Amino acid sequence: MRRLLLLVPLFLGACGENGADFETFPQPAELVLHAPQIADLELSPSRATIMDGDGNVSVTAGFVFTDTGLDIATIHVDISDGTSYTIPFPETVNVASGTHDETFNVSTATAGSYTVEVWLVDKLASVSNHAMVTFDVIDSAQASEWGAQWTNRLTGLPFGLSDVIWDGEYFIAVGAGGIILTSADGITWAERESGTDVGLNAVAFDDTVIVAVGLDTTVLMSTDHGASWSLKNSASGVRLGGVAINAPQIVTGGMDLNTGDAFMMRSLDLGETWAILGSLPQKDHFVTKLIHAGGLFVAATDVFSWLSDARVLVSLDGENWQSILLRDEVAAIYTLVHDGERFIVAGGENAVFASADGFYWTQLETPDEMTNITYGGAAWSGSRLVIHGGLTWWNWWVGTPPHHAAGLSSIDGGATWQVFDIDGYYESHGIAWGDGRFVSVGSTSAVSGEGDIYTFP
């Protein structure tokens, strides 16, 4: 990567009176080049559905580099669709070896498999090797065949799964018996030691902090993408159903198993100390899901009474909450997602609502055929909203129900919907989008204790 020019001064030898005698000196050394090197190039995501991100998605290229000259100047990216980037390399990252992430846009306007080529150039114009990977854009025909495209990755697990997230590098799934699974691609999964055997119901992340919660007020934390976990709280009598993080604040909620009342607690120091919130506005609506987005905490809720209504809880600070009526008729709300502009919640009785500010909600019109579906998972890809659940429990109470598709997909914010199915009686409890794919976790059926993981594509 370095051109090293050894300049050797030339001196004239002494001249004798009988003629000139010249001494012989070494010639200048040839240029020695020390070009940077690049290895282990990966894209995240490495695939997308056509027109994701309104035609462009943000992609991060991660790679390992070496540079003995410590003077990398630019990163060059060429995409086979004709797009190219020249990006300054940060001066602060110039070390002999290390890893680097660089983000740029990739077009999703046309389906196909595209080559992404990355190389480095130093300040003396030495060029590294060229590393290449592919980025796949799935065509509209593939994207519409949801039932055919969902692939089972793990099946018949001896534990049901409750929730899943993508933290930017890994999927993290949690479930019964303290189970925690992680995956870099949604396809290959590894079980992690949680340190508990209580059921885990929800998982959330913010920056580098991941928190999982469950039965007996259990709170677990990880800062290494779910590889290891530490216990932050545990006490009997409460089932935590949701958690949200706005670091360093963590808010988690659920139900007091002794009274059936709603329960919430929060920590202002990343789980080191906790305070129970004693003035919740709607004691009979216990928390089933929590998120922090758009500067708000929003909690989905459920009730025991058939005479109650459908509500969410909303807070600006995580301490003071308002109860917001969705509709007068009963509808348990089990999942919620933010698409960058709106909150979308969904649950039983085919209930799907949207709100731009968390306080004023509109029920979205959904197909009548989905009346007997209870939605348990939702995710947003940047252009597509996906909601999936399973048959409402009373279908099983009255006898084995007929199979029915249990998912909705929309690319226009819920104005129109496509009904799809993942697999038979499979019931989603959580869905995440990451690395160019949807990952759904749940149970083989509403009455099964076995777990499954599916991906699209």
**Could you read off the pLDDT of 18-42 as tens digits, one per residue?**
444 545 545 554 545 689 999 989 8
Counting the structural domains of the chain, the total is: 2
Tokens of 177: 């018996």
Res 148: pLDDT: 62
Please indicate, yes or no, whether residues 120 and 219 belong to a single structural domain of this protein: no
On whether the pTM is more than 0.75, the answer is: no
CB-CB neighbours of 200 under 10 Å: 26
Please indicate, yes or no, whether residues 131 and 264 belong to a single structural domain of this protein: no
**What strand order describes the sheet that includes 373-380?**
373-380, 385-391, 407-410, 418-420
Residue 13, in any domain of the structure: no
Please indicate, yes or no, whether residues 58 and 99 belong to a single structural domain of this protein: yes
**Could you read off the pLDDT of 97-120 as tens digits, one per residue?**
888 999 999 998 888 888 999 999
Please indicate, yes or no, whether residues 351 and 384 belong to a single structural domain of this protein: yes
| Residue 17's pLDDT band (cuts 50, 70, 90) | very low
The residues, any chain, with a CB within 8 Å of residue 455's CB and separated by 6 or more, are 150, 151, 153, 186, 187, 437, 438, 439, 440
Please indicate, yes or no, whether residues 161 and 78 belong to a single structural domain of this protein: no
Is the link from the previous residue into 248 a cis peptide, with omega within 30 of 0? yes
State the Cα–Cα distance between residues 337 and 387, nearest whole angstrom: 10
State the Cα–Cα distance between residues 119 and 96, nearest whole angstrom: 16
* 47-49/131-138 β-pairing: parallel
Residue 442, in any domain of the structure: yes
| Residue 139's pLDDT band (cuts 50, 70, 90) | low
Please indicate, yes or no, whether residues 254 and 306 belong to a single structural domain of this protein: yes
The residues, any chain, with a CB within 8 Å of residue 305's CB and separated by 6 or more, are 284, 330
**Could you read off the pLDDT of 166-219 as tens digits, one per residue?**
999 999 999 999 999 999 999 999 999 999 999 999 999 998 999 999 999 999
Please indicate, yes or no, whether residues 123 and 149 belong to a single structural domain of this protein: no
**Could you read off the pLDDT of 40-70 as tens digits, one per residue?**
898 877 777 778 778 898 898 999 999 988 8
**What strand order describes the sheet that includes 343-347?**
333-338, 343-347, 352-355, 362-363
Q: 59, 44 in Cβ contact below 8 A?
A: yes
Residue 303, in any domain of the structure: yes
Domain boundary residue among 87, 120, 141? Answer: 141
Domain of 311 in residue numbering reads as 145-456
Please indicate, yes or no, whether residues 325 and 361 belong to a single structural domain of this protein: yes
